[in-house]
């Protein structure tokens, strides 16, 4: 670990301004590329969280009452500021997460898709209307905001995920409290400044920094109506169970163990190139990263592993300041040690080490949290590295004899976030997409992440709750439907009392 004498003290963003923490407890924020401490982020007390929730509650009535068109204008201005300040935000993401410049820009671009969808809130909030459903009664529906909602985001996407799980919530009239990962708080605080400049009223957007105590207060506080979470599966399970116990709507997205099936008819060069970026991009710290490549047939496997070994040996790991690097460090030294442990144990369990990235050359002269790309062949179901999500650049080859075997293995795994198949056979693709039990499926697409106006979410233990991270289902998640039956009485006609259950027979 390298210390830095120029360590910035961060705060929270409450009621429209940055406020310093009161707890006296802090978490260090590191630059993963150098190992240096760059900031201290306060860990909020229960009272500070309650103060933030109270400010959001007070802001809700006026924000809800503002026309949806005016709210959309503010979201549009926020989007303009995001694009104007993109270079600043890219540098911030790179510094606190270790991503390459290209990857950081891609993250922001994908995040903008969620903002674009939120700008369309006036259209998405339109209800239904039926004329004369019976007895001269008109029926219509309206979508009302929930109130104060909370979002809890992970370290691996400091901007994209916060934008994805908050933009629509703001646009449809809710007040949002974001609890970012304490490892990457700078980007979230910068977003707060942009919301403020865009004209968002004080209290509508809040950033509260903290640890599990902060999360527990958000989960249990009766003012919070809904929780949106992205993170690991064990924590997602806990968030869903706890939030549901307290009567909240909860969407909790967990981890993934994503597979890429390679059919014998696929172009192996193209498939290998697709695998490299999908598997090792962002140092494999993506819930949609490809963890396992499944070549079908021994000949396919042998050729593919040979191609991959050559290509992986040419990948370069290093700091984002080097434009030639393919990916940067993992987020912490603890993460690096954990990933090395997975590789060590997989070799002990019988996996074949094709490429060893545990000790990259850059680690000899840098205190950054670097790992090179590792590829393990002959990985079998039951091995720890096959069963567990490994959030780092250690990827697997699982050899299968048939497409049926690949489908069966993937469907048997407890996680079902993303999967893809590379093939030139329409029949194989149709069989795969029909039979696979995974939430997001690709055909010759290395990372099958939907665009921002389609729903994002896995199956099985990759997602808890019925909401999605982005897409049209977010409107339903962050609103409640009110249905009105309306009749205007004719004063000249008297009507007798009726004791029958209302029906549309007149």
Question: How many helices (DSSP H) and strands (DSSP E) are in the chain?
Answer: 16, 23
Instruction: With respect to residue 367, please indicate whether it lies within any of the assigned structural domains.
Output: yes
- Judge whether 411 lies within some domain: yes
Of 6-10, 15-19, 368-372, the range with the lowest mean pLDDT is 6-10
Does 293 lie in the same domain as 197? no
Domain membership flag for residue 405: yes
What whole-number distance in Å separates Cα of residue 431 and Cα of residue 408? 12
Distance CA 265, CA 303 (A): 12
Coil, helix or strand at residue 10 = coil
CA-based nearest residue to 349, from 375, 394, 379, 373:
379
Using alpha carbons only, how large is the chain's radius of gyration in Å?
Answer: 25
In a domain, 109, yes or no: yes
In the predicted model, what is the mean pLDDT of residues 31-50?
97
CA-closest candidate to residue 278, choices 302, 254, 300, 261: 261
Confidence of residue 492 (pLDDT cuts 50, 70, 90): confident
| Annotated catalytic residue, options 94, 175, 186, 287 | 287
Q: What is the model's pLDDT at position 170?
A: 98
**Whether residues 197 and 330 fall in one domain:** no
In this prediction, residue 490 carries a pLDDT of 78
Q: Which residue has the higher pLDDT, 297 or 5?
A: 297
From the list 170, 173, 98, the residue with the least C-alpha distance to 367 is 98
Name the token pair of 326: 């393919």
The partner residues of 224 in beta bridges, in order of sequence, read: 148
Residue 464: CB partners within 8 Å, gap ≥ 6? Answer: 236, 237, 239, 240, 250, 251, 252, 253, 254
Q: What is the mean pLDDT of residues 447-454?
A: 81
Please say if the pLDDT value at position 427 is more than 80: yes
- Confidence check: pLDDT of 268 > 60: yes
How many distinct structural domains can be found in the chain? 2
Same domain, 294 and 367: yes
| pLDDT(42) > 50 | yes
Residues 206 and 272 in one domain: no
Residue-level pLDDT at 1: 44
Phi, psi of 246 (to 5 degrees): -90, 15
Confidence at 2, pLDDT banded by 50, 70, 90 = very low
Task: Please state the rounded mean pLDDT for residues 1-18.
Answer: 82
Residue 357 forms part of a structural domain = yes
> Of the candidates 324, 305, 306, 323, which has an alpha carbon nearest to the alpha carbon of residue 315?
324
Q: What is the pLDDT of residues 283-342, one digit of tens each?
A: 999 989 999 999 999 999 999 999 999 999 999 999 999 999 999 999 999 999 999 999
Return d(Cα 283, Cα 304) in angstroms, integer: 21
**What is the domain-level CATH number for residue 291?**
3.40.309.10
Predicted structure pTM score: 0.93
pLDDT digits (tens, 9 = 90+) for 143-179: 999 999 999 999 999 999 999 999 999 999 999 999 9
Nearest-10 Cα torsion for 54, 59, 61, 62: 170
Report the pLDDT value the prediction gives residue 136, as an integer from 0 to 100. 86
250 and 264 belong to one structural domain: no
User: What's the token pair of residue 498?
Assistant: 């009726």
Helices (H), 46-85: 46-65, 68-84
Q: Has residue 494 been placed in a domain? A: no
190 & 229 share domain? yes
Task: Tell me: do 65 and 96 sit in the same domain.
Answer: yes
Residue 93 sits in the same domain as residue 179: yes
What pLDDT shows up at residue 226?
Answer: 97
- Residue 355 a catalytic site member: no
pLDDT confidence bin for 455, thresholds 50/70/90: confident
Q: pLDDT at position 10, please?
A: 97
pLDDT score for 133:
86
Residue for token pair 């007390």: 45
Element (H, E) at 34: none
Q: How far apart are CA 168 and CA 164, in angstroms?
A: 8
Whether residue 294 contacts residue 261, with contact meaning beta carbons closer than 8 Å, is answered with yes
SS3 72: helix
Give residue-wise pLDDT tens across range 74-108. 999 999 999 999 999 999 999 999 999 999 999 99
Q: State mean pLDDT over 394-414.
A: 97
Mean of the per-residue pLDDT values for the chain? 94
Check residue 495 and give its pLDDT. Answer: 67
| 41 and 163 both lie in a single domain | yes
Q: Are 396 and 291 in contact (CB under 8 A)?
A: yes
210, 211, 212, 213 alpha-carbon torsion, rounded to 10°: -50
Give the whole-angstrom CA distance, residue 388 versus residue 390.
6
- Report residue 3's pLDDT band, with 50, 70 and 90 as the boundaries: very low
Would residue 453 count as lying in a domain? no
Greater pLDDT, 36 or 447: 36
Phi/psi of residue 204, nearest 5 degrees: -75, -35
Indicate whether 267 and 164 sit together in one domain: no
- Between 468 and 359, where is the model more confident? 359
347 with 467, same domain? no
Q: How far apart are the C-alpha atoms of 35 and 40, rounded to whole Å?
A: 14
The pLDDT, as a whole number, for residue 223 is 98
> Mean pLDDT over residues 177-190, rounded?
97
What does the pLDDT average to over 382-390?
A: 95
For residue 423, CA distances in Å to 261, 262, 297, 307, 441 come to: 9, 7, 13, 17, 14
H, E, C per residue of 310-329: HHHCCCCECCCCCCCCCECC
User: Are 134 and 232 part of one and the same domain?
Assistant: yes
Q: Which two tokens stand for residue 483?
A: 């249905």
**496 domain-assigned:** no
Domain span at 276? 258-443
Q: Directed axis angle between helix 185-198 and helix 86-97, to 10°?
A: 160
**CATH code, domain carrying 76:** 3.40.605.10
- Inter-CA distances, 329 with 104, 279, 375, Å: 14, 14, 17
């Amino acid at each position: 670990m390298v210390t830095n004498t120029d360590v910035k003290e961060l705060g929270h963003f409450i009621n429209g301004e940055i406020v310093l923490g009161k707890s006296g407890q802090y978490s260090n924020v590191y630059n993963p590329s150098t190992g240096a401490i760059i900031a201290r982020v306060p860990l909020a007390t229960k009272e500070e969280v309650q103060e933030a929730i109270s400010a959001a509650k007070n802001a809700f009535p006026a924000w809800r009452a503002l026309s949806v068109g005016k709210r959309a204008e503010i979201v549009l201005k926020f989007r303009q500021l995001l694009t104007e300040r993109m270079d600043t935000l890219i540098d911030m993401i790179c510094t606190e997460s270790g991503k390459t410049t290209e990857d950081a820009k891609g993250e922001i671009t994908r995040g903008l898709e969620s903002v674009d969808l939120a700008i369309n809130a006036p259209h998405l909030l339109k209800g239904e209307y039926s004329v004369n459903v019976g007895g001269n009664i008109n029926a219509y529906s309206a979508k009302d905001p929930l109130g104060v909602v909370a979002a809890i985001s992970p370290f691996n996407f400091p901007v994209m995920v916060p934008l994805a799980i908050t933009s629509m919530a703001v646009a449809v009239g809710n007040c949002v409290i974001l609890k970012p990962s304490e490892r990457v708080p700078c980007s979230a605080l910068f977003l707060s400044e942009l919301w403020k400049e865009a004209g968002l009223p004080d209290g509508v957007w809040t950033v509260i920094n903290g640890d599990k105590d902060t999360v527990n207060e958000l989960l249990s506080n009766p003012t919070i109506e809904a929780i949106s979470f992205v993170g690991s599966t064990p924590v997602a399970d806990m968030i869903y169970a706890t939030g549901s116990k307290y009567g909240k709507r909860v969407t909790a997205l967990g981890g993934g163990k994503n597979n890429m099936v390679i059919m014998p008819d696929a172009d192996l060069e193209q498939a290998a190139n697709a695998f490299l970026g999908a598997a090792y991009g962002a140092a494999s710290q993506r819930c949609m990263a490809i963890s396992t490549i499944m070549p079908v047939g021994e000949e396919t496997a042998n050729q593919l592993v040979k191609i991959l070994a050559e290509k992986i040996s040419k990948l370069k790991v290093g700091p984002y300041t080097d434009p030639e690097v393919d990916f940067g460090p993992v987020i912490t030294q603890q993460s690096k040690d954990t990933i090395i442990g997975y590789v060590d144990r997989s070799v002990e369990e019988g996996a074949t080490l094709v490429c060893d990235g545990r000790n990259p050359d850059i680690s000899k002269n840098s205190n950054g949290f670097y790992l090179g790309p590792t590829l393990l062949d002959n990985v079998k179901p039951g091995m720890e590295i096959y069963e567990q999500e490994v959030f780092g650049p250690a990827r697997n080859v699982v050899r299968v004899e048939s497409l049926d075997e690949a489908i069966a293995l993937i469907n048997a795994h407890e996680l079902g976030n993303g999967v893809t198949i590379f093939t030139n056979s329409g029949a194989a693709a149709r069989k795969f997409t029909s039979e696979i039990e995974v939430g997001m499926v690709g055909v010759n697409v290395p990372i099958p992440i939907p665009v921002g106006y389609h729903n994002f979410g896995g199956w099985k233990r990759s997602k808890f709750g019925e909401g999605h991270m982005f897409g049209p289902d977010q409107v339903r998640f962050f609103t409640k439907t009110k249905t009105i039956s309306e009749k205007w009485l004719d004063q000249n006609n008297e009507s007798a009392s009726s004791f029958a259950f209302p029906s549309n027979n007149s």
